[in-house]
Amino acid sequence: MMGRITIKNAADIEKMKAAGNIVKKTLELLSEKAEVGMTTEELDRIAETYIRKQGAYPSFLNYSGYPKSICTSVNQQVVHGIPGKYKLRDGDILSLDVGAKLDGFHGDAARTVLIGNVPEDVQKLVTVTRECFFEALKFARPGYHISDIGAAVQKHAEAHGYGVVRDLIGHGIGREMHEPPDVPNFADRRMGRGAKLVPGMVIAIEPMINMGTWEVVQLRDGWTIETRDGKPSAHYENTVAITEGEPMLLTL
């Protein structure tokens, strides 16, 4: 992503917190509702209705022509699964990705939830993916660089033998859903240390971790990303504001 990193002032951060809070609550609602037999389209309806009721707009709807309000990615689907007629089954994992725009600013976050009885090795993938985010969060402070975040995710994921998705990355966020800087989940040599983190930067940190190979393929719907080997993948994301001290989680 080209261009300049925008620095948010205190008033901007307050607005982003409000947008982020709607994203957080939508994800909580969806996690509660998601169960065996429900279609992903029904979850999309629930999310859009809730987001609009809060006076916000679902950021993904019509984004580059995206047809729905949320992304629902099941099992081997990594991200950008389009809600549809698929009925959730016992043992599925479901990645829910939600964005909301309020008062000119976006929030963006994702969770992977368990549907019924999920095999233990797949549960572990979901747990470690969440842990990857919190490992990265330790470096979301002034004095560190963007590359420290990716390196932390990669180290934790690869220690478990998992693959870190390369083709999709985290991002700056603010008045646009995708702003500079790019936030890879791996140490990207081409990037060097990357931008220095400073107070007022807001980024979406979003590890996408595969049980097998890091390689992915895109389906012919033009959106859905799946693992190349068909093994499961998990996603966990929060919008994070860099401050002088502790990072501020705007969607948690």
Chain contacts with Co ion (rule: CB under 5 A): 108, 204
152/204 with CB nearer ligand MF3: 204
Tell me the window of 44-52, 61-69, 115-123, 131-139 that interacts with ligand MF3 (CB under 6 A): 61-69
In the complex, minimum distance from the CB of residue 118 to Co ion, in angstroms, rounded to a whole number:
24
Distance, in Å, from the CA atom of 207 to the CA atom of 131, rounded to the nearest integer, reads 9
Partner that binds at residue 156, options ligand MF3, Co ion, none, CB closer than 5 to 8 Å by kind: none
Question: For residues 156-215, which are near ligand MF3 according to CB under 6 A?
Answer: 204, 206
71 lies in the site for ligand MF3, by CB under 6 A: yes
Cα separation, 5 vs 94, in Å, equals 32
- Between CA 102 and CA 174 the distance in angstroms is 11
For residue 8, what are the contacts with CB-CB under 8 A and spacing of at least 6?
16, 174, 200, 201, 202, 241
**Residue 99 touching ligand MF3 (CB under 6 A):** yes
Cβ contact 207:133 at 8 Å: yes
Give the whole-angstrom CA distance, residue 41 versus residue 159: 36
Q: Which does 97 bind (CB under 5 to 8 A by kind): ligand MF3, Co ion, none?
A: ligand MF3
List the one residue from 45, 66, 141, 160 that touches ligand MF3 (CB under 6 A): 66
Per CB under 6 A, does 63 bind ligand MF3?
yes
List all residues 6 or more positions away from 251 whose beta carbon is below 8 Å from its beta carbon: 20, 21, 23, 24, 27, 107, 108, 109, 237, 238, 239
In the bound state with ligand MF3, the residue whose beta carbon lies nearer, of 52 and 124, is: 52
| Interacting residues toward ligand MF3 by CB under 6 A | 60, 63-64, 66, 71, 80, 97, 99, 108, 204, 206
